[in-house]
Amino acid sequence: MKSGTLKNGFSYQYDEQNADDMTFIETLAVVMDDEENEVVRLAASGKVLGLLLGKKQKAELYKHIAKDHGGRVPLAVMNDVLGEIMGAEKN
C-alpha cells in the first residue's frame, strides 16, 4: 500500500497494483500525450485518478479541492494533484 499527503493537505492511499495495470498505464499515456486532443486528455486525467485511488477516494479528493475553490474543482489544480501523486509514485 502506498500513501502520501498532498501539498493541499489531502491524505491518500492506494494499492500499488493499481499503478501496475494496463488500463491505468494506457489511460495515463493518453493524459501525457501532447498530440492528443485536449478534451480527451482532460477526461483521461479524471479516469486516471479513479483507477489509482478508487471512486470513493477520488470523490473525497474532489470535495477537498472544491471547498477551497468555491465548490469547483479547477482543471489546473487537478493537473497539479495528478503530477504530485505520480511524482511521489517514482520515489
Q: pLDDT tens digits, residue range 34-91?
A: 999 888 988 898 999 999 999 999 999 999 999 999 999 988 898 889 889 988 766 5
Q: Please determine, for residue 15, whether its predicted confidence score (pLDDT) is greater than 90.
A: yes
Which of 48, 52, 49, 41 is closest to 65 using CA atoms? 49
Strand ranges (E), 1-91 = 2-5, 11-14
Q: Please determine, for residue 25, whether its predicted confidence score (pLDDT) is greater than 80.
A: yes
pTM higher than 0.95, yes or no?
A: no
β-strand partners of 2? 14
